Amino acid sequence: MYNRSINQATPTQFIDRKQAELGIQLNEVQRKAVLLTEGPLLLLASPGSGKTTTMIMRIGYLIAEKGVHPARIKAVTFSRAAAQDMKSRFNAFFPELAPVSFSTIHSLAFEVVRAYLRKCQIDFQIIEGHIDPEEEEGTGAEQLPLHKRIILRQIYHSIHSDNITDDQMDELTTYISYIKNKKLPAGQWSEIKVDVPKAEQIFRAYEEFKQRDRARLLLDFDDMLTLANRALDEDASLLRKYQTRYDYVLTDESQDTSLVQHAIIEKLVQRHHNLCVVADDDQSIYSWRGAEPSYLLAFKQVYSKAEILYMEQNYRSSRDVVHAANRFIKRNKHRYNKNMYTHNPPQEPIRFTCLADDISQGDYLVREIAGQDNLAEIAILYRNNSSSVGLMNALDLAGIPFYLKDSDLRFFSHWVVEDVLNFMRLTFTDKRVDVFEKIHMKFNGYISKKQMQEVRLIHNQESVFDNLLNHVPLQEYQVKLLEESKQTFQEMRGMPPQPAIQVIRSRLGYEKALEKMCERLGFRQDTLIGILNALEQIAAPLSTMEEFAARLKYLESLQKTAKRRRGQNVVTLSTLHSAKGLEFDRVYMIDLVDGILPSYEDLKDSSEDLAQLEEATRLFYVGMTRAKRMLHLVTYREREGKKAVESRFVNDIRRIVNPSAPRIVQGENSTVKLKKPEVVYRPNAIRNANDFVVGRRVKHARFDEGVITKLYEDRLEIRFEAGDKVLSVKACLEMGLLERIVEDL
């Protein structure tokens, strides 16, 4: 037995003493979860129910009161960050106790694999982890570097004679990971839906490549799981070693655990069944990467003597939020029948806002947030990463700092962005064959590869259009199209960037070309259109294409900077998936229309169990339960120039909040018109654009003192100690963001 560092006491005395020391209060269910240490336990923890505190108290009780050695306890978490957080919390709760092993399931699997392969005298190499994007892109075909993404990139190219896009790479790696985590046999690989052409063939070639060198096995992160599970199946002595190493196993966030991960844990606890599984089936939102929430529903079938406890009291959110979220999640049928409740008082009623269109969201949120002091307690949540770009632009122009919890760092290097810039480059000069070649199949000219090869051989420094018309054999229909396209490019010369993008999308036929590419190559059309919409938002206040290109460069740099602002007094921007585990006083959920949340794929779910729609419901529920005091649901009537339908989830919440309210059919009367923001009164605030003068010293509400260095029609550039900032004149005037320095008055 472990030499306990504190005096032995009754279980109740232990809990009471720790509560007094730590200033916490365990409810009846939490106390039972701490003390019920023997045998299998499923602890169903609703959002904000104090699961981490309960787990740490349980581990402390095992060591301090039951005499279990810390090394005999294994706590498995979902991520390294979660493992580190739990370790820190445990050390703060029990500084007198020796540390416990908190790790991810991948870390545990790696340990098992290393022992197994060493015993088999097989060398191995991990081929996954961080990789420099430039290194990935610049790899030659003559030798495949040993990294998963580069190997897949080269295999794709060898099969398709074309480069894989970033979106396709994400889709492909998700497909491979899903198959491995689901433990699907090769005969079922073709049954998995994937939008990458010949994905199964690529996967098989990838697996063959990894095993080509018999002296060294190549493993990705998912291989570590599947191989660890196989090793524990095949090697009885290895299995016995790990079964006898740990007497108690705890798993956190188990609703996000895959089938192969569950299998590994099952093997570890076969002898003693001392397993505590902490989960919430209502927060399972990762089925697309192999998570198996149905495992939780079948827990009693695996462990017939299991106890199931319901931690239903929410300590985080107001009564308004808890009541609505609890009623909302009950629309799902495949779940444990939990009833989340709270003793917290009501705060602010849930707010519903319907805007004219999706582009209005940035301005609306700026007006909502302007004047708020505690920005760290504000979060804007959305389903898709592309939503963050327009928000970044709007917040930055208003001088509101933000933190990006996660973002697609590839947005500004996406081929759609590069296409738009190349269209713009051709408006300056149509003599650049290299630029023309990059977009020749993406507008109305329908130039073939053979025709492009011929025009490349002409070096007369003339217009590419003229060279095609005068020196290259064309189809009759191409002549008129090329003449029209040449005229369109000439008319675009000097055009402001937003109308230029609209011409590119419509008159030049770029959007139709994207639609055909989506049909042929399996790209997600909504993702590509979302990028074009974001580019239009960025371009809206700008006067020239040069300014537009510079703004994109600036926002790309800002995006990287914003990822390092964690813990500062800034607004948090996050996808709903990445927001799980977080909490904020004020939460704005945006883009709440059918087609996004739920997505069209969710709505097309025709299976009997409606698995995709139920997961979308859980994702919405996760977003709701991030809010402590105020929850604000934002929708709109128009998206991409077409009618948008309010998310059915928003309609459900509205009827929960007001049961007598009819189901809303959107119309003019439901649209909120933007009002001027209510801002803090500043007696010296500049309210007239004429007072913006180059060289004038001003004071910003957040960046302190600075000097105006440049003026544009609707923007101004100011040099602050924190760096140069470009702000919207309109936002500065409406919100009183800038004051003249007193001695200058």
Give tens-digit pLDDT for 246-272: 999 999 988 888 899 999 999 999 999
> What six digits make up the tokens of 603?
């709505």
Q: What is the 3-state secondary structure (H, E, C) of 45-93?
A: ECCCCCHHHHHHHHHHHHHHCCCCCHHHEEEEECCHHHHHHHHHHHHHH
∠ CA 496-501-506, rounded to 5°: 130
pLDDT above 90 as % of the chain? 46
Mean pLDDT (the chain, rounded): 86
In terms of C-beta density within 10 A (0-12 exposed, 13-18 middle, 19 or more buried), how is residue 32 classed? middle
| Contact (Cβ atoms closer than 8 angstroms) between residue 420 and residue 535 | yes
Confidence of residue 672 (pLDDT cuts 50, 70, 90): low
User: Would you state the pLDDT for residue 377?
Assistant: 96
Confidence of residue 139 (pLDDT cuts 50, 70, 90): very low
Confidence of residue 137 (pLDDT cuts 50, 70, 90): very low
Helix, strand, or coil here: 448?
Answer: coil
> What six digits make up the tokens of 662?
């009819």
pLDDT average, residue stretch 50-63? 93
Q: Is the pLDDT of residue 496 over 60?
A: yes
By DSSP bridging, strand 248-251 and strand 571-575 are unpaired
CA distance linking residue 176 with residue 186, whole number of Å: 11
CA distance linking residue 671 with residue 667, whole number of Å: 7
By DSSP bridging, strand 697-700 and strand 248-251 are unpaired
Helix, strand, or coil here: 388?
Answer: helix
User: Would you state the pLDDT for residue 72?
Assistant: 94
Contacts 24+ apart (CB under 8 A), 290-293: 290/177, 290/178, 290/180, 290/181, 290/182, 290/258, 290/259, 290/260, 291/181, 291/255, 291/256, 291/257, 291/258, 292/182, 292/257, 292/258, 292/259, 292/262, 293/255
Q: Is the pLDDT of residue 332 over 80?
A: yes
Confidence of residue 207 (pLDDT cuts 50, 70, 90): very high
pLDDT average, residue stretch 283-310? 88
Poorest-confidence range of 23-27, 65-69, 276-280, 702-706? 702-706
- pLDDT tens-digit series, residues 81-97: 888 888 999 999 999 88
| Residue that the structure tokens 């926002």 belong to | 555
Phi, psi (deg, nearest 5) at residue 112: -65, -45
User: Would you state the pLDDT for residue 611?
Assistant: 84
| Paired strand residues for 646 | 593
In terms of C-beta density within 10 A (0-12 exposed, 13-18 middle, 19 or more buried), how is residue 142 classed? exposed
Helix, strand, or coil here: 104?
Answer: strand
- pLDDT tens-digit series, residues 552-608: 998 988 888 888 888 899 999 999 999 988 999 999 999 999 988 998 888 876 565
User: Would you state the pLDDT for residue 679?
Assistant: 47
pLDDT average, residue stretch 63-75? 92
> What six digits make up the tokens of 90?
């445990």
- pLDDT tens-digit series, residues 386-397: 888 889 999 988
Poorest-confidence range of 302-306, 347-351, 477-481? 477-481
In terms of C-beta density within 10 A (0-12 exposed, 13-18 middle, 19 or more buried), how is residue 655 classed? middle
Q: Closest Cα to residue 587, out of 626, 634, 621?
A: 626
Higher-scoring residue by pLDDT: 200, 12: 200
CA distance linking residue 129 with residue 124, whole number of Å: 15
CA distance linking residue 242 with residue 266, whole number of Å: 12
- pLDDT tens-digit series, residues 150-182: 999 999 999 998 888 887 888 899 999 999 999
Q: Is the pLDDT of residue 322 over 70?
A: yes
pLDDT average, residue stretch 635-655? 89
Please state, as a whole number, how many other Cβ atoms lie within 10 Å of the Cβ of residue 217: 17
Residue at 372: amino acid letter: Q
Q: Is the pLDDT of residue 738 over 80?
A: yes
Q: Closest Cα to residue 614, out of 256, 283, 177, 384?
A: 283
In terms of C-beta density within 10 A (0-12 exposed, 13-18 middle, 19 or more buried), how is residue 554 classed? middle
Confidence of residue 2 (pLDDT cuts 50, 70, 90): low
In terms of C-beta density within 10 A (0-12 exposed, 13-18 middle, 19 or more buried), how is residue 415 classed? middle
> What six digits make up the tokens of 691?
């007072």
Poorest-confidence range of 499-503, 547-551, 665-669? 665-669
Instruction: Measure the N-to-C terminal CA separation of the chain; round to a whole number of Å.
Output: 77
In terms of C-beta density within 10 A (0-12 exposed, 13-18 middle, 19 or more buried), how is residue 237 classed? exposed
| Residue that the structure tokens 């416990």 belong to | 100
Confidence of residue 447 (pLDDT cuts 50, 70, 90): confident
3-state helix, strand, coil in the chain (%, to 5): 50, 15, 35
Q: Is the pLDDT of residue 6 over 50?
A: no
Strand order across the beta sheet in which 723-728 lies: 723-728, 715-720, 704-711, 697-700, 738-740
Q: Is the pLDDT of residue 632 over 60?
A: yes
Helix 387-397 and helix 525-539, axial crossing angle in degrees, nearest 10:
10
